[in-house]
Amino acid sequence: MYRYAGVVSDSDRTGAAPGRPRSEAARQAVLEAVDDMLVEIGYAAMTMKGIAQRAGVGRQTVYRWWATKAEILLEASSGDADHELASPPRADPADDLAGFLTALATFLTVSPAGLGYRALLGEAQHDPAVRDLVRDADLLGRAARTVLDRVRPHAPAMPEARLASAQLTGPVVALVLETGQPLPATMLAEHARILISAWRNDRPADGNGVS
Amino acid sequence: MYRYAGVVSDSDRTGAAPGRPRSEAARQAVLEAVDDMLVEIGYAAMTMKGIAQRAGVGRQTVYRWWATKAEILLEASSGDADHELASPPRADPADDLAGFLTALATFLTVSPAGLGYRALLGEAQHDPAVRDLVRDADLLGRAARTVLDRVRPHAPAMPEARLASAQLTGPVVALVLETGQPLPATMLAEHARILISAWRNDRPADGNGVS
DNA sequence: TAGATTCGAGACACCTTGCCTCGTAAAGGA
DNA sequence: TCCTTTACGAGGCAAGGTGTCTCGAATCTA
Subunit contact B93:A178, Cβ cutoff 8 A: no
Nearest nucleic acid nucleotide to B69, CA to C1' distance: D18
Neighbouring CB atoms inside 10 A of A207's CB total 9
Residues 1-60, chain B, CB closer than 7 Å to nucleic strand D = 20, 22-23, 47-50, 59-60
pLDDT of residue B46: 97
What whole-number distance in Å separates Cα of residue B205 and Cα of residue B187? Answer: 26
**Distance in angstroms, CA of B47 to C1' of D18?**
10
User: Do A131 and B118 contact (CB within 8 A), yes or no?
Assistant: no
Give the tens place of pLDDT for each residue, B82-138.
Answer: 999 999 999 999 999 999 999 999 999 999 999 999 999 999 999 999 999 999 999
H or E element at residue A141: helix A139-151
C-alpha dist (Å) from residue A169 to A30, A48, A125, A183, B36: 31, 32, 19, 13, 33
Neighbouring CB atoms inside 10 A of A196's CB total 24
The domain defined by A21-66 folds into Arc Repressor Mutant, subunit A (1.10.10)
Cβ burial, residue A182 (10 Å; 0-12/13-18/19+): middle
Length of chain A: 211
Subunit contact B191:A167, Cβ cutoff 8 A: yes
Q: Which residues of chain B have pLDDT under 50?
A: 1-20, 204-211
- Sorted by where each begins, the domain ranges of chain A are 21-66, 76-200
Tell me, what amino acid is at B211? S
**Nearest chain B alpha carbon to A188:** B163
Residue A12 gets which letter from DSSP?
A: G
**Nearest Cβ partner of A125 from B121, B127, B175?**
B121
- Neighbouring C-alpha atoms within 13 Å toward the C-beta of A148: 22
Is A158 strand, coil or helix? coil
Strand C proximal to B20 Cβ, under 7 A: yes
Mean pLDDT (chain B, rounded): 87
The domain defined by B77-200 folds into Tetracycline Repressor; domain 2 (1.10.357)
pLDDT of residue A54: 96
What whole-number distance in Å separates Cα of residue A81 and Cα of residue A53? Answer: 26
Predicted confidence pLDDT, tens digits, chain A (211 residues):
333 333 333 333 332 333 455 568 888 999 999 999 999 999 999 999 999 999 999 999 999 999 999 999 999 999 899 999 999 999 999 999 999 999 999 999 999 999 999 999 999 999 999 999 999 999 999 999 999 999 999 999 999 999 999 999 999 999 999 999 999 999 999 999 999 999 997 654 443 434 3
pLDDT of residue A211: 36
Is A207 strand, coil or helix? coil
Q: Which residues contact A94 (CB under 8 A, 6 or more apart)?
A: A189, A192, A193, A196, B205, B209
Domain B22-76 sits in CATH at: 1.10.10.60
C-alpha dist (Å) from residue B147 to A168, A187, B96: 21, 21, 7
**Distance in angstroms, CA of A59 to C1' of C22?**
14
pLDDT of residue A24: 80
Subunit contact A197:B194, Cβ cutoff 8 A: no
Superfamily holding A76-200: Tetracycline Repressor, domain 2 (1.10.357.10)
